[in-house]
Amino acid sequence: MCGIFVSMGEIEKSQMDEVLQLLHHRGPDEGKSVVTDRVHLGHRRLSIIGLDDGIQPIHNAEKDQWIVCNGEIYNFESIKSELGSKTSFLTQSDSEVALKLIESEGAKAIDQLDGMFAFFIADERNDSFIVARDPLGIKPLYYGLDQSGQYVFSSELKAIERFVHQPEEFPHGHYFTPEEGFVCYRHMQAPKDTFNEESLDHVNQSIRETMEKAVEKRLLADVEVGVLLSGGLDSSLIAAIAKRYHKGQFPLKSFCVGAEGSADVINARKVAEAIGTDHYEYIYTQEELVAAVEDVIYHLESYEPSLVRSAIPNYFVSKLASEHVKVILSGEGADELFAGYAYMEEFQDTSSLNKEIIRILNTLHHVNLQRADRMSMAHSLELRVPFLDMEVVENALKIPAGLKIHKKDRMEKWLLRKSFDGVLPDEVLWRKKAEFSEGSGALDLLDAHAEESITDDELIRLQETAPVEIRSKQEAFYYRIFKKHFPGENMLQTVGKWATA
């Protein structure tokens, strides 16, 4: 996992050094910048694959094409094998495979990449460039125009805001070239064919097979991989599958945080004991939660209350995990794919349910996935999300609503639970869903502090003067911190909002 910064216009070396320092947390292992004939490329590296020779920017043999990439390409070995007769490779890095694939086959080949990524390729040979982001926006990317009208790109807003008038989020599932503009190379759509509702055994098998494959490919690394274990269904399933396919010389490590006596901590211990992980936990206090809020908002680059609330436990568990591993697996995406939210019961037919699933999948890039990326990278930790593997997504969309929607005799995500019956203890497998911030004991503590910190008069004053809607005292509390770090109003346009505050 890494941080990238690209300027098509003029930028001083001291400015590039400052930018790369701002992105240091995204890649503390190595940092490098290169000036080509027409572009300034900067990169901070967290080395995961190709430890000895993967420093970026990476160039081709002729040094007329360069890449800076943030992310992981899980199928890089198969692509590399297919390209073997057409080109030569200078490193063991998965990022170089993206460079060579596009050099050989053009931008249309981006759809072949299986992974999470945001990259920029400088094409000096053709006086052009290509920028791309993965289909769901798992990895962040922002862009804007500087004062001279030249493009600037960056992994985080804090590195780009000083250079551009209006930062924008690069659209997921798109690539951009000067010749074509933005091109959607892959978008979520409902499948034409769906499973038969009566073929429950076949559906369960398809869920197991796609999930096991998704977890197994995300164990690929030249460093140790661990699992985030909240004790709930989603992370527990990921942990159980990872334990089955784990091949490292050390036991699989699992990590959990929470308040003293919280449900997350208690249930995570049970799961860790049942599946046999080397388990680590951290018990935080109310004082630690409150003290962390400022750092959380700085890294999160958002003041959205639901996002901040859920980000704080993520912040602590990422900190804990980073002391032991460099990569961690997490359970984001299960609720969206398997109708885990209570409101989804209103979508009783498959067409309307899939439409809603696709809608919320297309919003994850600036809510759940933004939280997951920023909190892990704040501690130089790479986070991978098996449930959002494209094969898992496409398979889940084939499942009829009748098997997904919870009913009087079926709890939420019944189908997912049924598919892994016997893999986890029943008390975990059939435990009712709790939000991460709720299960970890964070929600009540933060609510109380926000109520105490913002007076009624201050809330009214902010509601009257802020250029955005402030919906609660908690949002006012977070907004005040956000504005301290990011005073420019142009940053407000990138903040995603959930329905409630």
User: Per DSSP, what are the bridge partners of residue 258?
Assistant: 283
Range list of β-strands (E), 276-397: 278-283, 327-329, 382-384
The encoded tokens of residue 256 equal: 């959990």
Task: Determine the Cα–Cα distance for residues 88 and 79; give it in Å rounded to an integer.
Answer: 13
* The one catalytic residue among 2, 69, 184, 256: 2
Task: Determine the Cα–Cα distance for residues 36 and 318; give it in Å rounded to an integer.
Answer: 36
212's CB contacts (< 8 A; 6+ apart) are: 241, 244, 245
Task: Determine the Cα–Cα distance for residues 446 and 439; give it in Å rounded to an integer.
Answer: 13
Only one residue has tokens 């796609």, namely 210
Under DSSP, the state recorded for 299 is H
Residues 413, 419, 424, 430, CA torsion sign: positive
Task: Determine the Cα–Cα distance for residues 89 and 144; give it in Å rounded to an integer.
Answer: 32
Q: Is 2 a catalytic residue?
A: yes
Q: ∠ CA(450), CA(455), CA(461), 5° rounding?
A: 110
Under DSSP, the state recorded for 259 is S
- Return the biggest CA–CA distance within the chain: 70
Query: Are 28 and 178 in contact, with CB atoms under 8 Å apart?
Result: no
List active site positions: 2
